Chain A
Amino acid sequence: MKSRYDNEMELSFLSKSNNEAFARITVAAFAAQLDPTIEELADIKTAVSEAVTNCIIHGYEDTEGIIKVRATLLDNCLEVEISDNGKGIEDVELARKPLYTTKGNLERSGMGFTIMESFMDEVKIHSVVGIGTKVTMKKKIKKEENKSLNDDEDVLINT
């Protein structure tokens, strides 16, 4: 079988909160093949962390379930698909709104989707109530020759 991607991987894990770090670090390590800047990597980690957290506290509401993460690379683009078989989102447009949260009592900020949307180039949400939710995010990694001097400076400072 020849993949139509340059590379692809899949993870599935239990909806335990200590897997949030596992998922974001794994996706970042996979994306490292595209030679991203420190800043691009941080964006990817943050977006993945938000999506996985949503599966845990909203999708499964602290019951146990399986979260799937699928990542593909094509040219200089990373696509990450994060899905659960949880309760689903009734109103996706409302859920996307900045500061909207159904879990204010848990000190959630309602910034999850807003962060995913501003840190990635494209975010699609597909959700069916009672079946589950799938979030698909894309991010283009700038090619080496297009990277500005500023990016290089950041790498020096942060390492």
Chain B
Amino acid sequence: MDSEFNELEKMLNIFITEEIDHHTTEKLRRKMDYEITRFMPRKVVFDFSKVSFMDSAGIGLLIGRYKLVKLIGGSCEITHCIQSISKVLEMSGIEKIIPIQKEEKVG
């Protein structure tokens, strides 16, 4: 996982670079919470362009971070996810609280 903070827009971009399952979420949770509490962003963007797999552990992870960001008055967004990950996200109904930015398919 990498991250990038835009001071001007108070926007934290989180680039997830690993597969997301119960095994990897603990570390991701720690890293994300560290970055969120360090920068106190107004907006957190979860960039999924490097994520090839996510199961329901990812839903728990995202909801947990959403709660933390909401607590400090910010909002979240999800971008660049592949079809199989969109499917898991859509099933959970998470887009009601975290908007999923739809991409135009290229190829």
Residues of A within 8 A of B (CB): 17-18, 20-21, 24, 38-39, 42-43, 45-46, 49-50, 53, 56-57, 106-109, 111-112, 114-115, 118, 154, 156-158
Contacts and interface: CB of A to CB of B under 8 A. Distances in A.
Contacts, number: 69
Contacts of A111: 56, 59, 91-92
Interface in B56-107: 56-57, 59-61, 63-64, 82-84, 87-88, 91-92, 105-107
A107 B61 contact: yes
B4 interface: no
Which secondary structure dominates where chain B touches chain A? Answer: helix
A158 B84 CA distance: 10
Give chain A's interface secondary structure class: helix
Range class of the B interface residue count: 20 to 34
A32 B29 CA distance: 33
B81 to A, nearest CB: 12
A121 to B, nearest CB: 16
B55 A49 contact: yes
